[in-house]
Amino acid sequence: MRVALIGYGNVGKAFARLLQVKQSTFPFRIVAIHTARHGTAYDSNGLGLAPPWGPAAASVEAFLDEAQPEVAIEITTLNPESGEPAIAHIRSAFARNIHVITANKGPIAHAYSSLNAEARRRQVEFRFESTVMDGTPIFSNVRNNLPGVKILGFRGVLNSTSKVVLGALQRGLTLEEGIREAQRMGVAEADPWYDIDGWDSAAKAAALANVLMQAQTNPQEVERRGLRDIDPQEPARLARAGKTIQLVSSAEYTNGSVRLQVSPEILPNTDLLASVAGTSNLLLLYTDLMGTIGTLSIDPGVEQTAYGLFSDLVDIARSV
């Protein structure tokens, strides 16, 4: 299958490495890569890990017209406020009847319903497993393994940076020291305040609600409080009392619509959401037929994000 990448940063490179490792059993070919500053590369026989960059294509449309891929993978930088230009990139691919995979949560948090409708109209596939919990199966699990199940709500600890920062506060360090620790570990967003103020958690909550609960929402509509809303001394005080604070993303139906919240919550250490150590993430789905289902990803990294793209690609290859 011919694959084009829009974006070739940490995720794109990890994905290209993964395809090389699995080449003998999964013969996918990256035939083109487009970036913002590095330029554009094409080779219909397949590009290596260090593509020979040429001049940048004039536009994503021109890139796709030249590359003629079957699948486009959108992995450009996240714009949390609007989801652009990734939304436009995805629409350009659909307009050319190209299947799309993305790890960029912007489009799913801001425009899932219209993008999904567009994909259906064009009879192309649209996958986004890596947008929440770094490739751990959430969306495909519900789609493939839970037929007829209604998702009634969820609670999750979905942002690794806030976990690291709260851990630092618990040990008596400052917010800034916690942020530096998360940056050293490589888990913080380019702008760490986006994690600290709950925007990343809000974008993930909106994405989950849009896909799993048919909400038509966006991150701005999430009731949001972040770590700047707590007393920095409180995590250390609570630790002495056997309690912890976690930045929890949650959803529930109220009066027929989906209410989304991101908030630092005080939890007893025995609460499942409090018990997940390190940078690990946990999501609990509340369902009508299957009770509560929990998914845990232990210290996920970029290799798992790349795997989410890979699993989406295999799924598309099997379904067309």
Q: Would you count residue 8 as binding ligand NAP (CB under 6 A)?
A: yes
Q: Which residue is nearest to ligand NAP (CB)?
A: 9
Tell me whether residue 303 or residue 315 sits nearer to ligand NAP (CB atom).
Answer: 303
| C-alpha distances out from residue 97 to 94, 104, 192, 201, 223, Å | 5, 20, 37, 32, 37
The one among 76, 92, 159, 217 contacting ligand NAP by CB under 6 A:
76
Q: Would you count residue 103 as binding ligand NAP (CB under 6 A)?
A: yes
Instruction: Look at the block and give the residue holding tokens 């707590």.
Output: 230
Tell me whether residue 220 or residue 304 sits nearer to ligand NAP (CB atom).
Answer: 304
Q: Would you count residue 75 as binding ligand NAP (CB under 6 A)?
A: yes
Site size for ligand NAP, by CB under 6 A? 23
Binding mask 259-298 for ligand NAP (x = CB under 6 A): ----------------------------------------
Q: Would you count residue 113 as binding ligand NAP (CB under 6 A)?
A: no
| CA gap 12, 147 in Å, rounded | 32
The one among 59, 77, 145, 292 contacting ligand NAP by CB under 6 A:
77
Nearest distance in Å: CB 256, ligand NAP: 32
Nearest distance in Å: CB 134, ligand NAP: 5
Binding piece for ligand NAP, criterion CB under 6 A, among 6-14, 46-54, 120-128, 174-182: 6-14
Residues 16-35 that bind ligand NAP (CB under 6 A): 34-35
For residue 62, list its beta bridge partners: none
Nearest distance in Å: CB 102, ligand NAP: 8
In the complex, the residues that contact ligand NAP under the rule CB under 6 A are 6-12, 34-38, 75-78, 85, 103-104, 130, 134, 302, 305
